Structure formats: structure tokens, C-alpha cells
Structure 1
Amino acid sequence: MVRQLLLLLLLAGPVLAGPVAAGSEAPRRVVSINLCTDQLAMLLAAPGQLISVSDLAQDPRSSTMVEAALAFPANQGLAEEVYLMKPDLVLAGAYTARATVSMLERLGIRVVTFPPASSIADVRQGMLDMGRVLGREAASETMLADFDARLAHLPPVPAQRPTAATFAANGYASGSRSLAGEIIERAGYHHLAEDLGMPMGGFLPLEALVMADPDLVIAGDPYPGASRAEEVLHHPALAALTGGQTVLEENDWVCGLPALLDATERLAATRAGAAP
């Protein structure tokens, strides 16, 4: 019935106001349908302004803000359910289901799409952009100032850096020119992807990883159960690397959030603890 109603509304044309003009009133009913916008909005939104986040925000395998997310009704990113919440703003990611975004826009609901952060510069810009969209510029500027202060106090990068590599399901490795790559570099490691000619990331054969023998392997955290894609993470060859260290890739650096500095600081501490 709801789907039929939406189809009728689409045929009739937009029924709600389009994008809000600059300088207009801040949105009062905000729905987020993307994990990364969920968490950034939870950090910046005014009390009562954010009315729903995606179900991924409440999943500890994906989110770093599960406890905060449990205070909000969860959505599955479906146009029907979002429409019935009567939002005046929907936050989405660049790769959020395009059918949902398209339908909401055709219904006249304002949708703002945030690209994924591929560098710390992108993370900084994302904070400011979210602050503007929510009408919370002062809060976002304060967040950015705190972020920059922590960034400036990271331990200095040593002249001689150990090598680190990422290794996830299906043998995927992040590139040296990625957010993960910059985190690794800021933590004082040299990213193996730079040596292997993988600036944008891609498939890293286990054999190539073993032959490179990095000092640290940052592996994906396997999901419960059995998955052929994750079998490679349990291969005994990983444990046999002479570096002898493996840490789990955590949710802190999945999205462009201040929490990525927690991951950077932990990696820097791991490096310092391994130093002779």
C-alpha cells in the first residue's frame, strides 16, 4: 500500500519543498541512511534534530558509535520508510542505494550526498560540510579545532619506518593514497602498497604479502561464521611472517570521523612498543 502511494505521488510530481536555499532555517527532521553520515550527524546534530539512522550504525561490526546509535530509530534505507518519517533533510553517501535517493528527490525531499573520505583533508572538509548542512557551523568548527589539535600532537614520524600492510577479505589491500594509507603513514609506518605499485588499493596475493614480509599486518576483523572470502585471513602463512605482529582493522577508520585518530594513536603505540 505504501509503495503504491509513493508511485502515485511520483506520477503526480514533487509534493514537498526542494533543496533549502543558503541562509534558510536549519532542518528540523533529519534522517541518515548511510553509516558514515549516521555517525557524523550524531556527533554534530542538535538535540532532537536527527530522528533516524541506518541499521548499520547499530551494528558493532560496522559502527564505532553503537551505543549512541541505539538511542535513535533505525532505518534500512528504504524510500517508503524514510518518506513516512516526514524528513526535511536526508543524508546519504555517494554509494547509497541510488533508487532510494532518486525516489526521495523526485518526491521533493532534500537529499544531501556525502562522498567517502579518501584523505585526512577530506575528513576535515566533511566535518565542515555536515555542520553547514545541519546549520551547526559553530559545532563543526569546534570539532575541527579539536581534531587538528590532536593531529598536531601525534608522535613524530621516525626517520627509519617499519613497513605495514593491510589485508582484508578476498585479499583486498588499501592503497597508499587512501585514508587508511594516510593513517598508516601518520602512525609512523611505511605502507607496503607504495612499494607494490598499489596507490588506489586492490587485490594483494597472499604470496606477494609473504614475500614482502612486512613488520605489521593490519588484517580485517572476520565476521562470525564461515566465509570463503575470509579464509585467507586465517592462513598460517600470516602467522609465520617474521614481523610477528598482526592487529585488527577496526571501525574507527571506516568513515571520516574524529575517531580515526584513535586508530592512528593505537598504531603509533604499536610501532613504539615494537621498536628495539
Structure 2
Amino acid sequence: MAAATPSWADMPGRVVSMNLCTDQLAMMLAAPGQLISVSDIATDPLISPMHMEAAAYPANFGGAEEIYLLRPDLVLAGVYSDPAVVSMLRRLGVEVAQIDIVTGLDQVTDRLVEVGALLHREEEATARAEAFEADLVALTRPGTGPRAAFYYPNGYSLGTGTLSHEILTTAGFLHIADELGRDSSGRLALELLAVAAPDVVISTGTYPGNSRSEDILHHPALEALIAAGQGHVSGPDWVCGTPQVLTALSDLTTLRDGMEAE
């Protein structure tokens, strides 16, 4: 009991998350009552896979003054969170932990362990990490499957050095970015996509209203390409490197297994 006292004394009792990905990790790992606020976008169903869980927490809009007034013991932020906000909070004496993005599935357990240690929830983090690793093995497929491509508004496509690439290839698909030598993300000419003729085109859902950037998703050439093969919509489970990516991976393995069976 005496040995455990310092750990409990140092355990942050009021934790605020101001980043979509740390929102998820905190909601997964925090003790009851430990997490007191998540980012306002955590409740957006278009980008947050845990939007229903997030509705139980007060939202913050990422402002330094707003977060400081919540009297947090610890603020979880991303490496690309507003540097002015992070700097101000630290000058005010608030501990801010900036969690790096995940670019590979092997880093998911690292982030679980990292945030688990910050929250003093090591056992919960270890259990989550072990469950993730077991599910990942079960969902991994040989990399001999159909050829696939990402194509988003403005003709944006993902390269090989991304988390989405890892999800795709772990499900057994071949990413055409490898063929095209595209290790980074950026715009891909529709002509190049059409010539590559992937078996699957992965795109995204659209927001209500009109957007010129989304017009290309309705181009006849792209629609013909999808009609000749398969279309797949990526969702919020693809956004952050948390165990939620298993849902995205499961959807893809179901698609691949079905295509292989045909």
C-alpha cells in the first residue's frame, strides 16, 4: 500500500483531450471520471468513430483560455495541435503531452502504452494492446489480392508511407501507389488512375451541400472505373492510429475475401 501511494498521488485526476486521436485513446483508457473533456469534433460522425461515446463528455474547442479554466492536471494534444495554444498552456503551468501520429499498424500499441502510462492506466493499456495484436493477426491476409487505389475530392490520393496504405496492404490488397512509385500523398491525375485500372477504388463519403472539390468523384471516367470493378467508402475508422482501425481492416478483409471467392 505504501509503495502504491506515490503512483495514485501522481495520477492525473482531470484530463482534457484537444485532439481527435487522443480523444479516442483517452476514452478507451481513462478511469471513470478521469477524462473531463474531449475535442468538439469528437462527436462528428463523419470523422469520429467514437462519436456516440464522445457525447457523454463536455466538448472543448481547443482554446488555451477555455482549457485552462477546466483546471486540468494533464492535456493530451497532437504533435500538430496549435503551437500557440500548447505554448500558452505550458507557460500557465499546465502539463501538455503531445502524442505523435501513427503511420503504421505496429505503432498503435506504442500509442496505447504511451497514453496508458500518462494516465497511470498501464494495465488497461496492456490489455488493449494485446487484444489489438491478436485481432490484427486474425485479420491479416496474404499480399496477393486485388489491386486498389485511393481517390478523394480534388483528385487526392494516398501514397505508400501512410496508415491507410498499411491497412490496405494488411488486408491483402496491392496498392497501385507502389506501381506508380508514389511514396507520398498528393493529387493524382484521373487519366493516370484510369490507365492503372485498379480493381477497387476507395473514396470517401461527401458532406451535405455543394463542393467543387467533390465534382471529380462523379466524373464519368471514374464512375466507369468503379462500375468495372468495385467501389469502397472509407470512414472515420481510417483516420487515427487507434484500435478503431480494426473495423476498417475488417471491412476490407470481408471485401477481399468476397472478391477472391468470385
Please indicate the TM-score interval, normalised by the length of the shorter structure. over 0.9
Match of 2:3 in 1: none
1:208 maps onto 2:192 in alignment: yes
Structure 1 residues 231, 140: CA separation in 2 closer, same or farther (over 3 Å shift)? same
Match of 1:190 in 2: 174
Task: Find the partner of 1:261 among 222, 225, 246.
Answer: 246
Per-residue displacement from partner, 1:155-187 (whole Å, max 9, x unpaired)? 5315x3210111112211111121100100011
1:1-276 correspondence to structure 2 within 5 Å: 25-157=10-142, 160-241=144-225, 243-275=228-260, 276=262
Secondary structure, counterpart of 1:218 in structure 2: strand
Instruction: Tell me the amino acid that sits aligned with residue 222 of structure 2.
Output: L
Distance 2:196 2:173 in 1: 15
Indicate if the aligned counterparts of 1:216 and 1:243 stay in contact, CA closer than 8 A: no
Alpha-carbon RMSD across the aligned residues, in angstroms, is 1.6
Q: Please, which runs of 5 or more residues in structure 1 have no aligned partner?
A: 1-20
Structure 1 residues 67, 23: CA separation in 2 closer, same or farther (over 3 Å shift)? closer
Distance 2:212 2:189 in 1: 15
Indicate if the aligned counterparts of 1:91 and 1:114 stay in contact, CA closer than 8 A: yes
TM-score when scaled to structure 1? Answer: 0.89
Instruction: Tell me the amino acid that sits aligned with residue 75 of structure 1.
Output: N
Secondary structure, counterpart of 2:10 in structure 1: coil
* Matched residues, number: 255
Instruction: Tell me the amino acid that sits aligned with residue 260 of structure 1.
Output: V
The Cα of 1:97 is off from its aligned counterpart by 1.2
Match of 1:18 in 2: none
Match of 1:10 in 2: none
Distance 1:141 1:264 in 2: 21
Distance 2:22 2:72 in 1: 15
Q: Please, which runs of 5 or more residues in structure 2 have no aligned partner?
A: 1-5
Distance 2:195 2:206 in 1: 23
Distance 1:206 1:272 in 2: 28
Indicate if the aligned counterparts of 1:150 and 1:261 stay in contact, CA closer than 8 A: yes
Runs (4 or more) in structure 1 with deviation over 4 Å come to: 21-24
The Cα of 1:22 is off from its aligned counterpart by 9.1
TM-score when scaled to structure 2? Answer: 0.93
Indicate if the aligned counterparts of 2:15 and 2:74 stay in contact, CA closer than 8 A: yes
Indicate if the aligned counterparts of 2:7 and 2:120 stay in contact, CA closer than 8 A: no
The Cα of 1:76 is off from its aligned counterpart by 0.5
Report sequence identity in percent. Answer: 47
Report the more deviating stretch, 77-86 or 160-169: 160-169
Per-residue displacement from partner, 1:193-236 (whole Å, max 9, x unpaired)? 11111112221111111111100011022111111122112222
